[in-house]
Amino acid sequence: MTRLTTTRWRQRVSTVMGTLTAASAGAVVLPLVLIFGFLLWQGASAINVDFLTHLPKPVGEIGGGMANAIIGTLILLGLASLLGLPLGILGGVYLAESRDRRLPWAVRFLADVLNGVPSIVIGIFAYTLVVLPMRRFSAVAGGVALAVIMLPIVVRTTEEMVRLVPASLREAGLALGVPEWKVVLRVVLPTARAGIVTGAMVAVARIAGETAPLLFTAFGNRFWHQGLDQPIAALPLQIFAYAIAPYDDWHRQAWAGALVLIMLVLAVSLMARLVTRGRVGAVR
């Protein structure tokens, strides 16, 4: 083979591989595009002011909405974040900062295992831990289940982000005669902030659509929020209930609910993108 043909062959291989990787990248986002398009096609027509502001109508009546489920999902996300984020972020800081070797290794391993536990099993866990002693399905139980699901994600992303902070910054802080805890709190964490917030947002987006762990914790409710110790409506539950019901109007509403849910996740993901555009803030 002459050198010239070798070059041509190499260029051809390069073109083929380039096309292949580009096509794969396209295929990765294709499902999302299809899902979103399909939801818009099916659900957009059922979204109206009533859907967003009204309670479900009694069985058999046309109309009504899922306002209670939208609010319920927001409350559940709030509860889960309240429990899961502080624990997860503090735990992640420990994993990244600890000089001990064995305990962080064990925690890291267990967090990864927890990440792989099916969400329905976590639902059963929350059922045993919260629902049984309270003798009642409740928003709190749902929040606990969702918090457990988000914990490993938050712990691991926080750890990674704190680790990414260059050692030189830590040393700069220490060399100024600042105690280590203050360096972590006021130099390391602010530097890692964008990444930590992104991790938190990803975790929130991930639990927003969880259905299984809510089935026997939050349980669902056809009325407005009744208190945190009462069953509460949630979008995924409502979608599930409406989708398997025999009424066409409910099917349409299920599609609309799915569309609202995915918009919610999209909004959270977008927010994560926005905060990662690092800004300079004063340390106070």
Partner 1 sequence: MADGIRVTKLNAWFGPSHVLRDIDLAMAPRAVTAIIGPSGCGKSTFVRCLNRMHEVVPGARAVGTVLQEGQDIYGPGVDPVEVRRRIGMVFQKPNPFPTMTVYDNVAAGLRLGGVRDRAVLNERVERALHAAALWDEVKDRLGKPGAGLSGGQQQRLCIARALAVEPEVLLMDEPCSALDPIATARIEELILELKRDLTIVIVTHNMQQAARVADATGFFLLGELVEVGPTSHLFTTPEDKRTEDYITGRFG
Provide, rounded to whole angstroms, the least separation between the CB of residue 284 and partner 1: 7
Q: Residue 40 or 178: which CB sits closer to partner 1? A: 178
Provide, rounded to whole angstroms, the least separation between the CB of residue 201 and partner 1: 19
Q: Residue 28 or 175: which CB sits closer to partner 1? A: 175
SS3 of 49-68: the string is: HHHHHCCECCCCCCCECCHH
Handedness of CA 69, 45, 269, 244 (dihedral sign): positive
Using the 8-state DSSP alphabet, how is residue 72 labeled? Answer: H
Instruction: Please report, as residue ranges, which positions from 217 to 236 form the binding site for partner 1 (by CB under 8 A).
Output: none
The CA angle 273-279-93, to the nearest 5 degrees, is 75
Handedness of CA 104, 108, 109, 113 (dihedral sign): positive
Q: Pick the piece of the chain touching partner 1 (CB under 8 A) from 7-15, 28-36, 170-178, 226-234.
A: 170-178
Q: Residue 163 or 170: which CB sits closer to partner 1? A: 170
Sorted by sequence, the CB contacts under 8 Å of residue 47 that are 6+ apart come out as 256, 259, 260
Contact pattern from residue 93 through residue 122 relative to partner 1, giving x for each residue in contact according to CB under 8 A and a dash for the rest: ------x-----------------------
Q: Is residue 73 part of the contact set for partner 1 (CB under 8 A)?
A: no
CB 178 within 8 A of CB 118: no
Instruction: Please report, as residue ranges, which positions from 174 to 203 form the binding site for partner 1 (by CB under 8 A).
Output: 174-179, 182-183, 186-187, 190-191, 193
Counting Cβ atoms within 10 Å, is residue 177 exposed (0-12), middle (13-18) or buried (19+)? exposed
Provide, rounded to whole angstroms, the least separation between the CB of residue 164 and partner 1: 12
Q: Is residue 163 part of the contact set for partner 1 (CB under 8 A)?
A: no
Q: Pick the piece of the chain touching partner 1 (CB under 8 A) from 16-24, 201-209, 228-236, 276-284.
A: 276-284
Provide, rounded to whole angstroms, the least separation between the CB of residue 153 and partner 1: 24
Residue 186 φ/ψ, nearest 5 degrees? -105, -15
Per-residue burial over 72-95, b = 16 or more CB atoms within 10 Å of its CB, e = otherwise: bbebbbebbbebbbebbbebbbbb
Binding-site size, partner 1 (CB under 8 A): 27
Q: Residue 174 or 271: which CB sits closer to partner 1? A: 174
Q: Is residue 1 part of the contact set for partner 1 (CB under 8 A)?
A: no
Q: Residue 37 or 278: which CB sits closer to partner 1? A: 278
Counting Cβ atoms within 10 Å, is residue 18 exposed (0-12), middle (13-18) or buried (19+)? exposed
Provide, rounded to whole angstroms, the least separation between the CB of residue 100 and partner 1: 10
CA atoms of 229 and 231, how far apart (whole Å): 7
Cβ atoms within 10 Å of 21's Cβ, excluding its own: 10
Q: Is residue 171 part of the contact set for partner 1 (CB under 8 A)?
A: yes
Q: Which of 18, 86, 227, 278 touches partner 1 by CB under 8 A?
A: 278
Q: Which residues bind partner 1 (CB under 8 A)?
A: 99, 166, 168-179, 182-183, 186-187, 190-191, 193, 278, 280-284
